[in-house]
Amino acid sequence: MTATAPGRQATPWTLARRAERMNPSIIREILKVTERPGILSLAGGLPSPDSFPVEAMREASERVLKDAGREALQYAASEGYAPLREWVAAHVQAQGLRVDASQVLITTGSQQGLDLCGKVLIDAGSRVLVETPTYLGALQAFAPYEPEIAAVPSDDEGPLPEALRDCAAGARFFYLLPNFQNPSGRSMSAARRVALAAEAARLGLPLLEDNPYGDLWFDAPPPPALASQHPEGAIYLGSFSKVLAPGLRLGYVVAPKALYPKLLQAKQAADLHTPVFNQRVVHEVIKDGFLDTHVPRIRTRYAAQRDAMRAALERHMPEGCRWNTPTGGMFFWVELPRGFDAMALLPMAVDAGVAFVPGAAFYATEPQLNTLRLSFVTLTPEQIALAVETLAGVVRAAQKEAA
Amino acid sequence: MTATAPGRQATPWTLARRAERMNPSIIREILKVTERPGILSLAGGLPSPDSFPVEAMREASERVLKDAGREALQYAASEGYAPLREWVAAHVQAQGLRVDASQVLITTGSQQGLDLCGKVLIDAGSRVLVETPTYLGALQAFAPYEPEIAAVPSDDEGPLPEALRDCAAGARFFYLLPNFQNPSGRSMSAARRVALAAEAARLGLPLLEDNPYGDLWFDAPPPPALASQHPEGAIYLGSFSKVLAPGLRLGYVVAPKALYPKLLQAKQAADLHTPVFNQRVVHEVIKDGFLDTHVPRIRTRYAAQRDAMRAALERHMPEGCRWNTPTGGMFFWVELPRGFDAMALLPMAVDAGVAFVPGAAFYATEPQLNTLRLSFVTLTPEQIALAVETLAGVVRAAQKEAA
């Protein structure tokens, strides 16, 4: 890549080889097209802003700046704000993890957790295992470290333990999102978790467990974390983005003690520390049990939206379409009849006034073109009904055209 | 590295090769020892918390959450908050850079800017040029990308242009901190900037210009940025840490248009975006000219502290010690007589009740062991006088012992 300024010699910027692996987020590009006014968008992965505790944030910001303004605005520890690390340790202990606060690293969103794990664990050509499909943001975080990604086959309960034997050799880790996965909405069964963790332990395969949606269950809490069954061989990632607000960029990594120092050094090099103002404000909001009443309200809201989408899918979608009903989280995953290309369908849907994300972007290898992701947390139940009806009409029209 | 859990097979975590290059910050390790109560610390690089605009921050947080709470707490653009990008573009234009807001990328502190530049530009074995001495945080940000660092010789005006010819071949960039450098306090003369930029343009050598301290001038503003004289061949980094508060972690990268998209993709993969709450609050604080009165107050405060340290050094330091008086920023750089090892001196100084940072950590190659960095912004003028007197006593005692 070269660029010339008038009257000067061109200065060649030589890019690192890893830069070839970096690409604009396909989803963000799609969102630019689809989030124009008047479109009913099922595309975004954004939590409902109605759920943001604006007033609690305002009060907490005021208290933090009044009581500890200087500390909240000064440089701080790379590990994170100690009381917040204690809170996180207690929170994940409730999910079965036997950890203490010294294993908690506060990150600038859990996206940074993915980046730091990639930085510390992936060499060019290293094998990394992922689910089929998997979270696009994780693929993007890992890509600059030039892994060879291998997709593990799965069924409705999650990745198949018996498939690990063939692909675990030399793998640096297996990236998993067991609860209400983005994009598939799938949750891993308790039995599958036990079997997967046992097989990973047997094979010496480290796990990277990502849990941004685990608190957003509708009927019953998810089974214990995989990391609880493979403690020295698992890193666990969490986030405040879905239970409080994503604009604060607050996530965390819980790491085995053997690995923590390297992740901390990578964190220090990456941004010194996560904004301590944000950490203190969030701790102020949550320290006295705020989430115990706040998160159930989000669950109730999202469950009603999930119900609206399920009803609309059942009512309107043509024969040959499949979906599984998520028991938490934010997404339905729809398979159109074989032969459909969801990417080709998108412009027609946008013309008709509805948007979604084609599923192909979520496959590390061999994309399944007839899949699409529908978010149910952005629109009202009434809008969801209309959006799904419209989408079903577009699918039917395309079916007729192809027939 | 392996770790064994009771009753389970050990799980081998294989670290990436680059992890070998990551190390705990020597400065942070030193700070842990030296910042115990009762020590007069000249070691920290922390801005004075007395300068933090706590009340303005409180009012701005309140307004942002009242007027745009949902937007401030939602996911946002990876590029940064548009009005803040406009503000930054106008601010750097005043330093002679011909740029527009589309070239501004808001980062999670300027440390993240260093990391992103390393990620996009450095391959294992790539040559990267730095000053002698140079900013430790930059060395740490670049290290995971496994560069071969070459230190460019310099005099009191800055790096020597004639030295570039021998080391520029194949270099990915030359990292420079032209204003009140950390650690040396040195500023590059106007003539040296012109000569360096011209030689870099002639050689096709990209520049990475870091300017966290430029606004903290005491007598006259610094000469125009190097980037203004080599626009297509320079990346410029800035920060709100020294003029507002570091705990917000807000910095920015201004990049040539040819390079911007890759830095943006790297940013997206690293943490999606910098907290938009912080961006909106800072923009709310600064949009109507707050810094025009706030920054001069910081200058006045720091200038008085600089004067106190200069007077104390002149009064107390034994013959054979050298320092140059900084015309801005936060640091004095002291050379002890030849043969001194500042690292060996540190425990004696701490025993006597005063702390500093030995200079060796700031050299990429061939450390000059008789150097040390003194920060003048943390203590009061009276404390500075006492601290320097104490330090001088320690130096004198060590001289006697060696004689």
Long-range contacts of the stretch A317-325 (C-beta < 8 A, 24+): A317/A388, A317/A391, A317/A392, A317/A395, A318/A392, A318/A395, A318/A396, A318/A399, A321/A395, A324/A156, A324/A184, A324/A185, A324/A186, A325/A185
Of residues B96 and A34, more confidence is placed in B96
- Is B56 within the bounds of a domain? no
Q: Which amino acid is at B258?
A: A
Q: pLDDT digits over B115-150, tens only?
A: 999 999 999 999 999 999 999 999 999 999 999 999
**Quick one: A296 and A267 in the same domain?**
no
- Residue found under tokens 């028991």: A327
Provide the number of structural domains found in chain B: 2
The whole-number pLDDT of residue A45 equals 81
Say if residue B27 is in the same domain as residue B76: no
Q: What does the alpha-carbon distance between residue B227 and residue B103 come to, in Å, rounded to a whole number?
A: 13
Q: Under an 8 A CB cutoff, do A15 and B76 touch?
A: no
- Candidates B277, B280, B294, B375: best to mutate against A (most CBs of A within 10 A) is B277
Last residue of a domain, one of A290, A310, A341: A290
Assigned domain for A64 exists: no
Position B402 scores a pLDDT of 81
pLDDT of B2 > 60? The answer is no
For residue B205, list chain A residues with Cβ-Cβ distance below 8 A. Answer: 11
Instruction: Note whether residue B3 is domain-resident.
Output: no
| B231: CATH | 3.40.640.10
B32 touches chain A (CB under 8 A): no
State whether B275 and A278 contact (CB < 8 Å): yes
Given B260, B288, B316, the domain boundary residue is B288
Question: Phi/psi at B376 (nearest 5 deg)?
Answer: -110, 10
Domain-located, residue A202: yes
Q: Are residues B146 and B264 in the same domain?
A: yes
Check residue A248 and give its pLDDT: 95
Q: Please, what is the average pLDDT of chain B? A: 93
Give the pair of three-digit tokens for residue B49. Answer: 């918390």
Residues B380 and B282 in one domain: no
A300, A284: one domain: no
Is residue A5 situated within a structural domain? no
Please report whether residue A60 resides in a domain: no
In this predicted complex, what is the ipTM?
0.95
Q: How far apart are CA A183 and CA B300, in angstroms?
A: 55
For residue A309, count other CB atoms closer than 10 A to its CB. 26
Residue from the list A3, A107, A268 with its beta carbon closest to the beta carbon of B140: A268
User: Nearest residue of A to residue B57 by CA position?
Assistant: A65
Q: What is the CATH number of the domain that holds B350?
A: 3.90.1150.10
The range of the structural domain enclosing residue B353 comes to: 19-51+292-402
* Peptide bond between residue A133 and the one before it cis (omega within 30 degrees of 0): yes
CA distances for A173 relative to A18, A180, A384, B14, B147, angstroms: 20, 21, 38, 9, 26
- Specify whether A43 is located in the same domain as A134: no
Same domain, B196 and B337: no
* Six token digits for residue B386: 């006492």
Domain boundary among A237, A272, A290: A290
User: Which residues are bridge partners to A149 per DSSP?
Assistant: A128
Distance from CA of A110 to the nearest CA of B (A): 8
CA pair distance A32, A315, nearest whole angstrom: 30
> What pLDDT is stored for residue B3 in this prediction?
40
Task: Kindly state whether residue A329 falls inside one of the protein's structural domains.
Answer: yes
Range 362-391 of B in CB contact (< 8 A) with A: none
Flag whether residue A140 sits within 8 Å of chain B, measured between CB atoms: yes
Contact A108 B271 (CB under 8 A): yes
Mean pLDDT (whole number) for B159-166: 96
Helix (H, G, I), strand (E, B) or coil at B304: helix
User: CB within 8 A of A288, min separation 6: which ones?
Assistant: none
Task: State whether A128 and A222 are in the same domain.
Answer: yes
B180 and B258 share a domain?
A: yes
Is position A9 within any domain? no
Band (pLDDT 50/70/90 cuts) for residue B188 is very high
Provide the pLDDT confidence category of residue B11 given band limits of 50, 70 and 90. low
High-pLDDT (> 70) share of chain B, %: 97
Q: How does pLDDT run across B231-283, given as a tens digit for each residue?
A: 899 999 999 999 999 999 999 999 999 999 999 999 999 999 999 999 999 99
Are B44 and B191 members of one domain?
A: no
Q: Are residues B174 and B256 in the same domain?
A: yes
Instruction: Check CB contact of B109 with chain A, cutoff 8 Å.
Output: yes
* Pair B281, B298 in one domain: no
- The answer to whether B16 contacts chain A (CB < 8 Å) is yes
In angstroms, the separation between the Cα of residue A41 and the nearest Cα of chain B is 16
Print pLDDT tens along chain A (403 aa).
334 344 444 557 999 999 999 988 777 777 777 667 889 999 988 888 888 999 999 999 999 999 999 999 999 999 999 999 999 999 999 989 999 999 999 999 999 999 999 999 999 999 999 999 999 999 999 999 999 999 999 999 999 999 999 999 999 999 999 999 999 999 999 999 999 999 999 999 999 999 999 999 999 999 999 999 998 999 999 999 999 999 999 999 999 999 999 999 999 999 999 999 999 999 999 999 999 999 999 999 999 999 999 999 999 999 999 999 999 999 999 999 999 999 999 999 999 999 999 999 999 999 999 999 999 998 999 999 999 999 999 999 999 888 7
B163 reaches A (C-beta below 8 A): no
Contacts of A119 in chain B (CB under 8 A): 16, 18-19, 144
Residue of B13, B28, B247 with shortest CB distance to A275: B247
